[in-house]
Amino acid sequence: MPIEPFTLVILGATGDLTRRLLFPAIYRLIKKERLPEFKVVGFAREDWTPEQFLKHLEKNLKEFVPNFSKDVWDELKGRIDYLQGDLTPEHLKQLEEKLDGNALFYLALPPQFFDEAAISLGAAGLHREKNGWRRLIIEKPFGWDLSSAQQLRKHLHKHWKEHQLFRIDHFLGKETVQNLMVFRFANRFMEPIWNSANIAQVQITAAETLGLEGRYKYYDQAGALRDMLQNHLMQIFALTAIEPVSRWNADNLRQHKVEVLQSVRSIPLDRVKEFAVRGRYGAGEMDGKTVPGYMEEEGVPHTSRTETFAAVKLYIDNWRWEGVPFYLRSGKRMKETYTEVAVQFKEVPTQLFDGVEDLSNWLIFRMKPAESIELVAYAKTPGLNLETRPVVLRTELSRKEEEDFSAYEQLLVDAAEGDQTHFLRYDEVEEAWRILDPILKAWTRGQPEEYPSGALGPNGQGRLMDPGHYWRTPEDD
Ligand code: BG6
Residues 380-393: tens digit of each pLDDT: 999 999 999 999 99
- CA 101/CA 357 separation, integer angstroms: 65
Which atom in ligand 1 lies closest to the alpha carbon of residue 367? 16
Is 232 noted as a catalytic residue in this protein? yes
Closest CA relative to residue 257, chosen from 465, 86, 427, 105: 427
Ligand 1 binding residues, C-beta < 6 A: 208, 210, 227, 339
Q: How confident is the model at residue 208 (pLDDT cuts 50, 70, 90)?
A: very high
> Does the pLDDT at position 402 exceed 60?
no
Burial of 166 (0-12, 13-18, 19+ CB in 10 A): buried
- CA 413/CA 35 separation, integer angstroms: 8
- φ/ψ of residue 342, rounded to 5: -115, 120
CA of 356 to the centre of ligand 1 (A): 37
> Does the pLDDT at position 364 exceed 70?
yes
Q: Which of the following is catalytic: 159, 170, 232, 422?
A: 232
Residue closest via CA to ligand 1's atom 6 equals 227
Terminal alpha carbon distance of the chain: 40
Report all structural domains of the chain as residue ranges with CATH numbers, in order of start.
6-139 (3.40.50.720), 172-404+426-476 (3.30.360.10)
CA of 447 to the centre of ligand 1 (A): 24
Return the minimum-mean-pLDDT range out of 292-301, 388-397, 412-421. 388-397
Q: What percent of the chain has pLDDT over 70?
A: 98
Give the Å distances, CA to CA, from 245 to 36, 242, 255, 262.
33, 8, 9, 17
- CA 462/CA 225 separation, integer angstroms: 18
Q: How confident is the model at residue 444 (pLDDT cuts 50, 70, 90)?
A: very high
Q: Could you tell me what percentage of the chain is helix, strand and coil, using 3-state DSSP and rounding each to the nearest 5? A: 40, 25, 40
- φ/ψ of residue 219, rounded to 5: -65, -35
CA of 209 to the centre of ligand 1 (A): 11
Residues 267-286: tens digit of each pLDDT: 999 999 999 999 999 999 99
CA of 227 to the centre of ligand 1 (A): 8
At 283, is the secondary structure helix, strand, or coil? coil
Residues 422-437: tens digit of each pLDDT: 999 999 999 999 999 9
Burial of 193 (0-12, 13-18, 19+ CB in 10 A): middle
Strand-pair category, 338-345 with 276-282: unpaired
Ligand 1 pocket test, pick from 215, 228, 333 with the greatest ligand atom count within 8 Å of Cβ, gives 228
Q: Which residue has the higher pLDDT, 395 or 107?
A: 107
- CA 23/CA 57 separation, integer angstroms: 8
Residues 127-179: tens digit of each pLDDT: 999 989 999 999 999 999 999 999 999 999 999 999 999 999 999 988 888 89
CA of 170 to the centre of ligand 1 (A): 9
With b meaning 16 or more CB within 10 Å and e meaning fewer, what string describes 27-65?
bbbbbeeebeebbbbbbbeeebeeeebbebbeebbeebb
> Does the pLDDT at position 476 exceed 90?
no
Which atom in ligand 1 lies closest to the alpha carbon of residue 206? 16
Closest CA relative to residue 120, chosen from 101, 149, 94: 94
Which atom in ligand 1 lies closest to the alpha carbon of residue 232? 3
- CA 3/CA 273 separation, integer angstroms: 49
* Chain CA centroid to CA 297, Å: 25
Burial of 156 (0-12, 13-18, 19+ CB in 10 A): buried
Contact 382, 357 (CB under 8 A): no
Residue closest via CA to ligand 1's atom 8 equals 227
Q: How confident is the model at residue 326 (pLDDT cuts 50, 70, 90)?
A: very high
Largest CA distance in the chain: 83
- CA 216/CA 206 separation, integer angstroms: 20
